[in-house]
């Protein structure tokens, strides 16, 4: 679970950052896209990630059918690697769920976005490649 507290978020952003890359020239662009929050557990373990998100832009400019996949720097052998990757996915889903689009850009199915989660000052570590976006099941996310 990601805690969204005004007292905690500034601390998280000082230690690690998450940058949104919402779409390209062939896709609509979100109006003031919200960046995801760096997961506290991933920050504690010093894990970075790159995530690819897939979602639909609805007729009213919202988002639904949000899913994602993340490649992390967590050791692949550990059982916690999948759990940490899921924390990054959840953070991405929470961010994309807040995005809004202009009416002229809607509806737009199968939109994509990428997120980079990187610890500040950790420029020596090589980040993984962005994973291939996965298709989502047709079910709204609230």
Q: Which two tokens stand for residue 34?
A: 């919200």
Q: Specify the DSSP class assigned to residue 65.
A: E
Q: Read off the pLDDT band of 93 (50, 70, 90).
A: very high
| pLDDT, tens only, 53-90 | 999 999 999 999 999 999 999 887 666 888 999 999 99
- Output the CA angle 66-73-40, nearest 5 degrees: 65
* Whether residue 26 has pLDDT greater than 80: no
* Whether residue 2 has pLDDT greater than 80: no
Question: 9-119: which CATH topology?
Answer: TolA/TonB C-terminal domain (3.30.2420)
* Whether residue 23 has pLDDT greater than 80: no
| pLDDT, tens only, 101-127 | 987 777 888 888 999 998 875 566 788
**Domain ranges, ordered by start, for the chain:** 9-119
Give me the phi and psi of 80, to 5 degrees please.
-75, -15
């Amino acid at each position: 679970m990601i805690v969204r507290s005004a007292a905690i978020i500034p601390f998280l952003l000082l230690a690690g950052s998450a940058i949104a890359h919402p779409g390209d020239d062939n896709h609509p662009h979100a109006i003031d896209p919200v960046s995801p929050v760096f997961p506290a557990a991933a920050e504690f373990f010093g894990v970075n990630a790159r995530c690819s998100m897939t979602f639909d832009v609805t007729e009213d400019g919202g988002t639904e059918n949000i899913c994602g996949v993340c490649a992390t720097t967590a050791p692949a052998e550990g059982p916690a690697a999948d759990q940490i990757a899921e924390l990054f996915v959840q953070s991405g889903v929470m961010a994309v769920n807040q995005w809004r689009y202009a009416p002229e850009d809607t509806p737009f199915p199968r939109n994509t976005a990428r997120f980079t989660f990187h610890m500040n000052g950790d420029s020596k570590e090589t980040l993984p490649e962005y994973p291939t976006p996965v298709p989502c099941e047709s079910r709204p996310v609230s």
